[in-house]
Amino acid sequence: MEYDARGLASAADGTKLFYGARGDGEPLVLLDGIGCDGWAWNHIQPHLSQRWRVLHLHYRGHGRSGTPIDSAARDIATVADDVLRVLEAASAERNVLMAHSMGTQVALEVYRKAPERVRAMVLVCGSYGRITHTFHGNDLLHRALPRLIEQVQRNRGIARALWGRLPPALSYRVAGWLGEIDGPSMDPDDFRQYVEHLSDIDLDLYLGMLQHAGAHSAEDMLPTVQVPVLVIAAERDTFTPVDVVRELAEHIPGAEYEELAGASHAAPVERATEINARVDAFLAQLEG
**Domain annotation for the chain: domains and CATH numbers:** 5-287 (3.40.50.1820)
Q: For the chain, how far is it from start to end, CA to CA, in angstroms?
A: 30
- For 75-78, the CB contacts below 8 A with 24+ separation are 75/209, 75/212, 75/216, 76/102, 76/105, 76/106, 76/109, 76/129, 76/212, 76/213, 76/216, 77/109, 77/113, 77/216, 78/11, 78/12
pLDDT for the residue 180: 53
Pair type for strands 53-57 and 95-100? unpaired
Amino acid 112: pLDDT? 98
Residue 152 pLDDT: 67
What pLDDT is recorded for position 146? Answer: 75
* Mode of pairing for the β-strands spanning 118-124 and 53-57: unpaired
Q: Name the residue type at position 85.
A: R
The series of mean pLDDT values per 10 residues for the chain, 288 residues long, is 95 98 97 92 96 97 95 96 98 97 98 98 96 84 77 64 53 44 63 74 88 95 97 94 97 98 93 97 87
Q: Biggest alpha carbon distance in the chain?
A: 57
